[in-house]
Structure 1
Amino acid sequence: MRQDDLYINKIDWITIGIYASLVIIGWFNIYAAVYDEQAAKSIFDFSINSGKQLVWIGTALLLITVIMVADYRLFENLSIILYGVFVIFLLITPFFGKEINGQRAWFEIGAFRLQPAEFAKFATALALAKFMERPSFDLSQVKYQLQALAIIMIPVSLIMLQPDTGTAMVYSAFFVMLYREGMPQRYYVLGLTFITISLLALGIENNLYLVIGVAVVLGVLNFMGKKSLRRSLSLLAIGAVVIGYSYSLDFVVSKLPTHQQNRIMVLFNPDLDPLGVGWNVTQSKIAIGSGGFWGKGYLEGTQTKFDFVPEQHTDFIFCTLGEEFGWVGSIVVVFLFCSLLIRLIILAERQKNRFSRVYGYCVISLLLFHFLINIAMTIGLFPVVGIPLPFFSYGGSSLWSFTILLFIFIKLDSHRIQFLGRMN
């Protein structure tokens, strides 16, 4: 057997099958989201989104071919160069990009648009893997933690200049990978504490209630523990920090753009202005709920036909699925995503070198974040932040970037034995 044939046999076809299933189901749902019964067009019509998405799918297949025939060492060798190239693209985007809805996040090429921030995700993942593969790299040491953080924060800072808060937020997903690679748990405890306090501060309208709650909790803790002046002062200091932070957060939120304030308000009060700021989420939940158990049937969604849900072919594509295929269809897609994530974890854990494992967990982290946030957003559990559903939402940048992200890892996995040979 030739060496090339050996590596073809090592390709994980299960992962590729799940990928193909999600892309195909997503394509049919994109057509459903733009379907007009009065002027029905073919799903292959290039004048509508489903036809354009078919072009993106076809070009994605070309990208897959290029990745799979390329030398697997190319991605490791070019990782820093690719990172630098996309950092430059992010740097110039606010100046030369196409402005859409107040954001300069796209380059327009004829009838198509490309979003550099989407492609910077896989470049950042490669750069992190390259830096962290060094034997001396140890996330228990502060200097290495700062290095990893710098690699993540450079693109985040540039994306915020566009400004695109939703995409910038996605880069926090890399902390899932950092946890797997040994980042101290205390940072995650502090992070969860920070998130909990933030939610309480934003969700409780009167901060006086929060002050009373903090005082009661700390009073109970002081009573239960061993009495000492040092302990009491420490608890008092913690209480002061929490209360001070809650008031500071209110001040920061008050300085955010109005549309971002409205999204936060709707999260904690879903019935707030259902015909205004709460329209998107309200209509999305109506669409999903109206699908019932089996759904209304393909191309039979009334919320879709009458265009009640804005951006239904992109950020809110999941509500099209929920309305037309119901609970059953939604569970099938959720199962596919969960299966993909579980499969990728299995692949990541069987890697023979740190570069491939780190990159694999970067892929897992990004897909998990998009999957959870997008669905949570459509059912009102998270503010609307404009995050697409991987392989499902309409858009070339999204499909291309996730395809490249995934298939680089599939390529690395198919050469895991060869990586072992290099190590030996």
Structure 2
Amino acid sequence: MTNLNRKFFGSGIDWLTILLWLALCIIGWFNIHAAVYDPEHPSLLSIDTNYGKQFIFIVSAVILAAVILIIDSRFYSSVAPIFYGITIILLIVVLIVGRNVGGNQAWIPLGSFRLQPSEFAKLASCLILAKYLNAHSNKNPNLQTLLVGSLLLLLPVGLIMLQPDTGSALAFFALIFVFYREGYVSGIFLLIGASAIALFILSLLFPQWTVILGVAVVCAILVYFTKRSRKAIITGVTLFGAATIFILGVDFAYNEILQSHQRNRIEVMLGKIDDPRGEGYNVNQSLIAIGSGQLLGKGYLQGTQTKYNFVPEQSTDFIFCTIGEEWGFLGSSIMVLTYLGLLLRLIHIAERQRSHFARIYGYGVVSILFFHFFINIGMTLGVVPVIGIPLPFISYGGSSLWSFTILLFILLKLDANRKGLFNIQSF
């Protein structure tokens, strides 16, 4: 095994990550079986059902993973611009010939299979961003590089928004953590972004004057504890002015930019409206399903919320409900810990890379997977708005499983060859 590993995969593949990936795929397969169980086709391998198709997707994902590990690691950097260009073309094609499902024209029909280009666009964006930033790694981080790198991401985001698929588009913004790790964005910028989100939510919950008064108090406290210097006072006044303008603009942005169903989902999440049969139906049924599982769950194939189709999209966006209902808090915790273990392992892998390309790409992988993990589970628990994104490796779907598998295994291939890695400086 050692000789085979070195011959085909490089200096050493990270088998722990592969085991975590395979465990999540199997967890997903069994819970898809539970979510859409058909008594007429009880077998997990029945290709007439989604769980039978998912098995085929998993087997093909294993084959894809093996192929990725065999290919020379330098191939992935060299092919990044080509792959990026292909995905941009596919994102344009889907707007012309795509199939509309659930209000999103996001799938290209290929016989009985549907290809979702936006899933592969995340992979292509991680590759092109890593290649571009790597080409400028011998320079100090500058605004021009940041702007060009951002434009490379905003192009697919704009095309995806035309579908419109807000959930997939938002996932690209998670790549800001790549810019942060490479020194293009400071921690203050991330703090400002988090503060803007908090102010947006507070402005929807409370009267504007109350929020502005609260900001004034916070700014005054900051000035007081920074020795009341002239610089501190100017900074405090500037922050207060910027926050006030932002707060006063929330109403316009909320009512004029967001669509009505998006506003309704946010208001349901914030508890401003109670709409258990409308926009709040999915989340309400999700919470009932998860809560009914209690500590140990109802047992495999015993979930009533799942069996009687009370939870919409229960094998895709709301797959976590099935886990919560049938496996309870304990089973859900094991799944979450497995996922967190994978994310922590990937951070460790990204940090030990010797090439800028591999490290940048590694943090892109972590950012995308964490965003999907946090948002998907958060929306099933009602703590974030429902935006409709899959739980990687667990939700039903060939496009998402393949794209996330390729995303992950390219990093494992780069990691396997880290001791003799390249450092391509051209773009």
- Indicate how the Cα distance of structure 1 residues 229 and 328 shifts in structure 2: closer, same or farther if over 3 A, else same: closer
Q: What is the match of residue 340 of structure 2? A: 338
- Per the TM alignment, residue 267 of structure 1 is displaced from its structure 2 partner at its CA by 1.3
Q: What is the match of residue 205 of structure 2? A: 203
Q: What is the match of residue 415 of structure 1? A: 417
1-structure distance, mates of 2:221, 2:230 = 15
1:394 aligns with 2:396: yes
- Per the TM alignment, residue 107 of structure 1 is displaced from its structure 2 partner at its CA by 0.4
- Indicate how the Cα distance of structure 1 residues 110 and 211 shifts in structure 2: closer, same or farther if over 3 A, else same: same
Q: What is the match of residue 326 of structure 2? A: 324
1-structure distance, mates of 2:373, 2:175 = 14
1:72 aligns with 2:35: no
Q: What is the match of residue 158 of structure 2? A: 157
Q: Answer whether contact 1:125 1:362 (CA < 8 A) is retained.
A: yes
Q: Which segment drifts farther, 42-51 or 164-173?
A: 42-51
- Indicate how the Cα distance of structure 1 residues 232 and 310 shifts in structure 2: closer, same or farther if over 3 A, else same: same
Q: Which segment drifts farther, 162-171 or 341-350?
A: 341-350
Residue of structure 2 aligned with 1:190, choices 177, 189, 192? 192
Q: What is the match of residue 370 of structure 2? A: 368
2-structure distance, mates of 1:343, 1:136 = 25
- Per the TM alignment, residue 144 of structure 1 is displaced from its structure 2 partner at its CA by 1.3
2-structure distance, mates of 1:153, 1:290 = 42
1-structure distance, mates of 2:53, 2:122 = 23
1:32 aligns with 2:34: yes
Q: What is the match of residue 104 of structure 2? A: 103
Q: What is the match of residue 355 of structure 1? A: 357
Q: Secondary structure at the match of 2:382?
A: coil
- Per the TM alignment, residue 283 of structure 1 is displaced from its structure 2 partner at its CA by 1.0
- Unpaired runs of at least 5, structure 1: none
Q: Answer whether contact 2:357 2:423 (CA < 8 A) is retained.
A: no
Letter in 1 for 2:21: Y
Q: Answer whether contact 2:8 2:69 (CA < 8 A) is retained.
A: no
- Per the TM alignment, residue 375 of structure 1 is displaced from its structure 2 partner at its CA by 0.8
Q: Secondary structure at the match of 1:133?
A: helix
2-structure distance, mates of 1:359, 1:54 = 29
Q: What is the match of residue 385 of structure 1? A: 387
- Indicate how the Cα distance of structure 1 residues 293 and 175 shifts in structure 2: closer, same or farther if over 3 A, else same: same
Q: What is the match of residue 122 of structure 2? A: 121
Q: Answer whether contact 2:99 2:109 (CA < 8 A) is retained.
A: yes
* Identical-residue share of aligned pairs (%): 45
Letter in 2 for 1:203: L
Q: Answer whether contact 2:137 2:356 (CA < 8 A) is retained.
A: no
- Per the TM alignment, residue 118 of structure 1 is displaced from its structure 2 partner at its CA by 0.3
RMSD: 2.4
2-structure distance, mates of 1:57, 1:28 = 12
- Per the TM alignment, residue 275 of structure 1 is displaced from its structure 2 partner at its CA by 2.2
- Indicate how the Cα distance of structure 1 residues 128 and 224 shifts in structure 2: closer, same or farther if over 3 A, else same: closer
Letter in 2 for 1:199: I
Letter in 2 for 1:150: L
- Indicate how the Cα distance of structure 1 residues 237 and 396 shifts in structure 2: closer, same or farther if over 3 A, else same: same
Q: Answer whether contact 1:156 1:168 (CA < 8 A) is retained.
A: yes
- Per the TM alignment, residue 245 of structure 1 is displaced from its structure 2 partner at its CA by 1.9
Letter in 2 for 1:338: L
Q: Answer whether contact 2:24 2:393 (CA < 8 A) is retained.
A: yes
Q: Answer whether contact 1:270 1:380 (CA < 8 A) is retained.
A: no
- Indicate how the Cα distance of structure 1 residues 294 and 270 shifts in structure 2: closer, same or farther if over 3 A, else same: farther
Q: Which segment drifts farther, 13-22 or 52-61?
A: 52-61
Letter in 1 for 2:270: F
TM-score, normalising length from structure 2? 0.92
Q: What is the match of residue 82 of structure 1? A: 83
- Per the TM alignment, residue 58 of structure 1 is displaced from its structure 2 partner at its CA by 2.1
Q: Answer whether contact 2:306 2:314 (CA < 8 A) is retained.
A: yes
Q: Answer whether contact 1:270 1:282 (CA < 8 A) is retained.
A: no
- Indicate how the Cα distance of structure 1 residues 218 and 362 shifts in structure 2: closer, same or farther if over 3 A, else same: closer
Q: Which segment drifts farther, 206-215 or 282-291?
A: 206-215
2-structure distance, mates of 1:237, 1:224 = 17
Residue of structure 2 aligned with 1:17, choices 16, 19, 24? 19
Q: What is the match of residue 142 of structure 1? A: 143
- Per the TM alignment, residue 246 of structure 1 is displaced from its structure 2 partner at its CA by 2.1
Q: Which digits, 9 at most, give the CA deviation of each residue in 1:105-149, with x for residues without a partner?
A: 110111111110100111111111111112555463111111221
Q: Answer whether contact 2:74 2:422 (CA < 8 A) is retained.
A: no
Q: Secondary structure at the match of 1:11?
A: coil
Q: What is the match of residue 179 of structure 2? A: 178
Q: Secondary structure at the match of 1:10?
A: coil
